[in-house]
């Protein structure tokens, strides 16, 4: 009983500290494949296998009911502490190579996610790419403004030059 309480407390803490949680079913994966999966998401998440009843209790204690209907069969959770999109991509890519891994649901930013929504999350570009695109757009706007401001004095100088020529003639 004490170990179950400790497990529930540990899971509840992980739910509360994670920026997102992705629920998977791993039926049929070998220990080596699970190790490979853990290694692929280690930078941004921890992957934990837990009993469904204990997971449900811990999630409910943390105020999350998103997984109540999905906790059936051998389930494991990816507790995200880094880039959620990167973890979703890693799970999607791993599932393509190992069809026995199934992403069942997710919880992100206070909202429950279906498996399809987790897939859409995986289709997003990484944070770095989005930041680079935003920086590029801002730089282009600044360059355009600089060119505009540089062109105004030159245009004025040409206008004054033409006016002076007209007066001299």
- Provide the token pair at 22: 């992705």
Name the DSSP letter for residue 59. H
| Report field, pTM of the whole predicted structure over 0.85 | no
- DSSP structural state of residue 101: -
Question: Comparing C-alpha atoms, which of 70, 37, 38 is closest to residue 56?
Answer: 70
| pLDDT tens-digit series, residues 42-90 | 888 888 888 888 888 888 887 877 777 778 778 888 888 877 888 888 8
Say whether 27 sits in a helix, a strand or coil: coil
């Amino acid at each position: 009983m004490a170990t179950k309480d400790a497990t529930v407390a540990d899971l509840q803490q992980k739910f509360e500290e994670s920026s997102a949680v992705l629920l998977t079913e791993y039926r049929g994966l070998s220990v080596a494949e699970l190790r490979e999966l853990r290694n692929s998401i280690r930078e941004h998440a921890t992957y934990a296998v837990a009993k469904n009843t204990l997971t449900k209790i811990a999630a409910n204690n943390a105020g999350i009911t998103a997984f109540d209907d999905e906790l059936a069969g051998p389930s494991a959770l990816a507790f995200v502490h880094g880039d959620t999109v990167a973890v979703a991509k890693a799970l999607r890519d791993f599932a393509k190579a190992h069809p026995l891994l199934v992403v069942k649901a997710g919880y992100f930013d206070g909202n429950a996610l279906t498996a399809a929504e987790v897939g859409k999350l995986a289709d997003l570009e990484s944070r770095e790419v989005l930041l680079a695109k935003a920086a590029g757009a801002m730089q282009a706007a600044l360059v355009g403004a600089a060119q505009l401001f540089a062109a105004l004095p030159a245009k004025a100088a040409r206008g004054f030059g033409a006016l002076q020529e007209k007066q001299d003639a």
